[in-house]
Structure 1
Amino acid sequence: MTSHYFENALVKLHYYKFGNGPQSMLCFHGYGMHGKQFLLLEPALGSKYTFFGFDLFFHKETKLTDQSLEAVKARITKKQFAALIEEFCAYEHIDRFSVIGYSMGTHYVTAVVEELGSRVDEYIVAAPSSIYPGKLIEFFSKYKLGNKLLEKLVLSEKALINMLNLCKWLGFIDDVGRNILYKEIDTPELRFNLYASFIYLRLFETDEAQLIKTLTEYNIRSIFIFGKRDKMYPPSIGKAFFAKFKQAEIVILDEHHELINKNFVSALSGLLL
């Protein structure tokens, strides 16, 4: 594995390269994770793929050129993000590629497929919040009242902890989800990153009709992976979507939300090899 940077007017993007296969796989991690989240795939799939694991916006070493509150509120569009990916691919001499994302990362991969579907071979999403992010995330990211409330909350560690406990009590998240988020709010910088991660991607809402049209038109292999015991994004969130998109390959693992593990690798490599 090697560490790299790609820089343009928008961002200094940090990423890892691992594997040495002829096919390219762009990797988009979950909230609070980093570009090495899919490194587990290298032993099984590294001879088929070269993986590019990004540190996503407001995570680890990736930094926006302007990371002010005003810039975060200005947000980024899918087309702007697609342009960034096109620049990156030109820099790395990538023509066609596959994409894989987990949880928050599925919003990134879905935006890429919607905008650049003619270049995509495989679309792999695990704990796909892009299908249905949930009422809590929609409230904080899409609506002005939610935006303002979250902005106030990030100024107070105690308030955020109380909010997490309330969300757990209401059943919006389980113990696993609560603990993941709790680890991400213990400093002012991390609280800002939490806010920014909700707000910056507001315009990444999945266009379901466009996604299905693109997947179908370009015959993109589509794999959806769920954790049977995942209370945040259980298999049931895909019921309406899969009724419209029959070509989906659906995998349900006996896992909680944190499902990027050996079972995940075994199931995915069994499909891809």
Structure 2
Amino acid sequence: MGFLDIPGLGVAHYHEYGIGSKPMLAFHGYGMTGRQFHVLEKSILQAYHVYGFDHFFHGESKLNGWTEQQILAGMPRAMVSEYVEEWFKLHGRQRFSVMGYSIGANIALILIEEYADLIDEVILMAPDGLSVYKGFEILLHKPWGRYMFKNVTKSKWLAPTMLKNLKRVKFIDESLYQIAYNEIDTEQKRQDVYYTLNLIRLLKPDTVKIAALINQHHIKCRLIFGRHDNLFPMKAALPFIGSIENAEVHEVAMGHWLVTKQLDEYLVNLQQ
């Protein structure tokens, strides 16, 4: 493991694992840490040495001197490239790959915009960023949604009640309900949700530009979706998928919770 001191942002902590020699920068989903991908030991970790970063408000990554006002305004998009520049200072400027799950895919995608000429492969699992998710758009960019989000996260009963109602009208399924509920059952967890999603609110990838760069630089592209994922389903990403010349696309019989040993076995079986 190690730390990157990113100017103007803070200290980003990363985990190292995998027996492969090729470097891969990886970005996890909400509520996890950079260790999330260690379960892919029989597949991806055979080929790659993963540097898995903790998001801020997760693991050991810490913002440096940021006020609440700055957090709510959002992390400037340009700061994403500083992860790589600081990583280069430690490990040398070299070719690398990127991987992202759920909200972590936004960072992986933005890195393609900035470093397409150095990237060998991108692996995205249940990715945010390939289409606009209306729920996040409302909570993070609409004035009334931001007001509601703030008040819900400060209340002990509003957040659980809202989740139950969303499940009742089938906006989310049981698996998403359980994932979300486990992240709002304490005041600290609710604050971390609020701060995390606001911090990354400006990290919107330019999917048209990214598709063109993937094609231009012949970047290997693997996209993995859960067939029962109601949060980031494959159908929402079809325009992006259609614009990639040689995308390897998989829709597995799982929900949003994809990074598991079950997925590892699926990927291993593909190679046989």
Which amino acid in structure 1 is aligned with residue 225 of structure 2? F
Report what 2:89 is aligned to: 90
Distance in structure 2 (CA, Å) of the matches to 1:197 and 1:128: 17
Return 217-226 or 199-208, whichever deviates more.
Answer: 199-208
- 1:230 aligns with 229
- Name whichever of 43-52 and 5-14 sits farther off: 43-52
The whole-number CA distance in structure 2 between the counterparts of 1:30 and 1:119 is 24
Alignment of 1:1-273 (within 5 A): 3-9=1-7, 10-93=9-92, 95-269=94-268
Assess if the C-alpha contact under 8 Å between 1:96 and 1:121 holds in 2: yes
Partner Cα separation in structure 2 for residue 149 and residue 272 of structure 1: 47
Give the C-alpha shift of residue 270 in structure 1: 5.7
How many angstroms apart in 1 are the aligned matches of 2:219 and 2:266? 19
Native 8 Å contact 1:78 1:112 kept in 2: no
Give the letter for the 2:172 counterpart: I
- RMSD (Å), alpha carbons: 2.0
Matched residue type, 1:82: S
Deviation at 1:74, TM superposition (A): 2.8
| Structure 1: distance between partners of 2:198 and 2:113 | 20
Higher deviation after alignment, 181-190 or 218-227:
181-190
Can you list the C-alpha shifts for 1:86-142, whole angstroms capped at 9, x where unaligned? 212322335111111111111111111122212111111011121124211111122
Contact 1:99/1:109, CA 8 A, preserved across alignment: yes
Please tell me whether the aligned partners of residues 25 and 99 of structure 2 are also in contact (alpha carbons under 8 angstroms). Answer: yes
Moved more, 251-260 or 169-178: 169-178
Pair 21,248 (structure 1): closer, same or farther in 2 beyond 3 Å: same
- AA paired with 1:245? I
* 8 Å CA contact 2:40, 2:260 repeated in 1: no
Aligned to 2:128, the other structure's residue is in SS state coil
Q: Measure, in 1, the Cα distance between the counterparts of 2:3 and 2:113.
A: 25
TM-score by length of 2: 0.92
After alignment, is 33-42 or 230-239 more displaced? 230-239
Identity %: 30
Superposed displacement of residue 190, structure 1:
1.4
Gaps of 5+ in 2: none
Partner deviation per Cα, 1:252-271 (whole Å, 9 max, x = no partner): 11111111122322343566
Distance in 1 separating the partners of 2:152 and 2:83: 31
Q: Kindly indicate whether the alpha-carbon contact (under 8 Å) linking 2:27 and 2:104 is maintained by their aligned counterparts in 1.
A: yes
CA deviation string 1:215-272 (max 9, x = no partner): 1121111111011121222221122222333422101111111111223223435668
CA separation of 1:226 and 1:72: change in aligned 2, threshold 3 A: same
Task: Give ranges in structure 1 of 5+ residues lacking alignment.
Answer: none
